[in-house]
Amino acid sequence: MYNDILNKLSKSKFRNSFHLSSKDIKYINDKGLDVIRYHAEDFIKTRLAPAYIPNDGKQTPMKNHPVFIAQHATATCCRTCLYKWQVYCSACNSNLL
């Protein structure tokens, strides 16, 4: 299932336009993966998980944190992208729709 989603994402010109800069890589190395994972979990909890998101579709900046870059690259940046790329693609591949 995830390989199918990653394969589809890899064919998206927009999703492939996101790359970590040397500044992002330095930030990851300086902070460590545990801190980056914590940030990622916090962003998901505060930006995607709440019942009401006043700025849904615009809550994830396009820069300034490596997790934001990763979220756009993997289509986990907002509920619309999450549904389109993760839920819908999974359902299509599972013949659930």
- Span 47-64, pLDDT tens digits: 888 888 888 888 898 899
78 Cβ contact partners less than 8 Å away, ≥ 6 residues apart: 48, 56, 57, 58, 59, 60
Q: Give the pLDDT confidence score for residue 92 in this predicted structure.
A: 54
Q: What is the mean pLDDT of residues 3-18?
A: 90
In whole angstroms, what is the distance from residue 51 CA to residue 91 CA?
23
Q: How many structural domains are present in the chain?
A: 1
Give the pLDDT confidence score for residue 48 in this predicted structure.
Answer: 86
- pLDDT per residue as tens digits for the range 13-31: 999 999 999 999 999 999 9
For residue 95, pLDDT beyond 50: no
Answer with the residue of higher pLDDT: 41 or 48: 41
Tell me which residue range forms the domain holding 29. 2-93
